[in-house]
């Protein structure tokens, strides 16, 4: 007779509230230039700008802060071909998120850049790489992309990484102490992506094991090789 399997604790992938308010943006040397750009609007060097940085670096947060200030609408770059671009620019400001060469509709992007120039509208792109590096087939689009000023968000320094860990934990309603923050910061890659992954893993394992989030749990999950 088969022995029944013990039930396994399932961890549900729940949405966690993330605030994109200005006061919740964590500033540091790695993102100071990008934050200064957002805060000096409309005094920009160009009406179309690009925020460039790795995933989780704060590009979308800054774009949301700017959209709140400028009244900008927000559009995914993947939906450019389907969008009513004149309507998207109706407020005189537009955020275009996640611009990347893969799957890029060159004609739609070219049309948007030209239309924004004609209507003297502001456009803020977010991207993982500077659009000037994109290989595109439309020659005039190449020159347009090369002319777009970009501001980079760099990987976090030590202080910002620790602050980020605390914020990510707070977003998940996890209370963590300084020893745990220091333990994590010293054992994960110094990147926004690694911080997000580490806090998520701690949270999920704590729920699965019905244990609190502690340094002891972190030591089990992030042992040095």
Question: pLDDT, tens digit, for every residue of 133-160?
Answer: 999 999 999 999 999 999 999 989 999 9
Q: Are strands 48-52 and 150-152 parallel, antiparallel or unpaired?
A: parallel
Per-residue pLDDT, 192: 86
Q: Is the pLDDT of residue 1 over 50?
A: no
Per-residue pLDDT, 16: 55
Q: Which CATH number fits domain 28-152: 3.40.50.2300, 3.40.50.300, 3.90.226.10, 3.30.559.10?
A: 3.40.50.300
Per-residue pLDDT, 21: 85
Number of H helices, E strands in the chain: 9, 5
Per-residue pLDDT, 14: 42
Per-residue pLDDT, 224: 60
Cβ contact 207:213 at 8 Å: no
pLDDT band at 131 (very low <50, low <70, confident <90, very high): very high
CA angle 169, 225, 200 (to 5 degrees): 20
Per-residue pLDDT, 20: 81
Element (H, E) at 32: helix 32-40
What is the chain's mean pLDDT, rounded?
A: 90
From CA 182, how far away is CA 189, in angstroms rounded? 13
Instruction: Choose among 45, 60, 66: nearest CA to 147.
Output: 45
Instruction: Choose among 125, 78, 133: nearest CA to 105.
Output: 78
- SS3 breakdown of the chain: % helix, strand, coil, rounded to 5? 45, 10, 45
From CA 125, how far away is CA 132, in angstroms rounded? 12
Instruction: Choose among 203, 197, 195, 202: nearest CA to 158.
Output: 195
Q: Is the pLDDT of residue 101 over 90?
A: yes
> How many of the other CB atoms lie within 10 Å of CB of 212?
11
Q: Which CATH number fits domain 158-221: 3.40.50.970, 1.10.8.60, 2.40.50.140, 3.40.630.30?
A: 1.10.8.60
The pTM of this model reads 0.82
Q: Which residues contact 89 (CB under 8 A, 6 or more apart)?
A: 112, 115, 116, 119, 121, 123
User: Which ranges in 41-105 belong to alpha helices (H)?
Assistant: 59-70, 85-88
29 DSSP 8-state letter: T
pLDDT band at 3 (very low <50, low <70, confident <90, very high): very low
* 55 or 118, greater pLDDT: 118
Share of the chain above pLDDT 90, in %: 80
Cβ contact 153:51 at 8 Å: yes
Range 201-211 average pLDDT: 94
pLDDT in tens, 181-205: 999 999 999 888 899 999 999 999 9
Q: Is the pLDDT of residue 4 over 50?
A: no
pLDDT in tens, 5-29: 333 333 333 445 567 888 888 999 9
Residue 201 CA to its chain's centroid (Å): 19
Per-residue pLDDT, 51: 98
Domains of the chain: which residue ranges?
28-152, 158-221
């Amino acid at each position: 007779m088969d022995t029944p399997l013990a039930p396994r604790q399932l961890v549900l992938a729940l949405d966690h509230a993330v605030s994109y308010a200005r006061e919740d943006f964590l500033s540091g040397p790695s993102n100071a230039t990008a934050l200064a750009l957002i805060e000096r609007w409309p005094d920009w060097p160009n009406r179309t700008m690009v925020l460039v940085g790795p995933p989780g670096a704060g590009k979308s947060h800054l774009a949301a802060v700017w959209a709140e200030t400028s009244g900008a609408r927000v559009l995914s770059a993947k939906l450019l071909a389907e969008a009513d671009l004149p309507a998207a620019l109706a407020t005189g400001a537009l955020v275009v998120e996640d611009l990347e060469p893969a799957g890029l509709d060159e004609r739609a992007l070219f049309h948007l850049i030209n239309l924004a120039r004609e209507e003297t509208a502001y456009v803020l792109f977010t991207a993982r790489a500077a659009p000037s590096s994109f290989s595109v087939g439309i020659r005039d689009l190449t020159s347009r992309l090369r002319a777009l000023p970009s501001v980079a968000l760099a990987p976090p320094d030590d202080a910002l990484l620790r602050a980020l860990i605390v914020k990510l934990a707070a977003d998940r309603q996890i209370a963590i102490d300084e020893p745990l923050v220091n333990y994590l910061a010293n054992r994960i890659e110094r990147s926004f992506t690694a911080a997000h992954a580490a806090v998520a893993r701690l949270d999920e394992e704590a729920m699965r094991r019905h244990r609190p989030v502690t340094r002891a749990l972190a030591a089990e999950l992030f042992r040095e090789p």
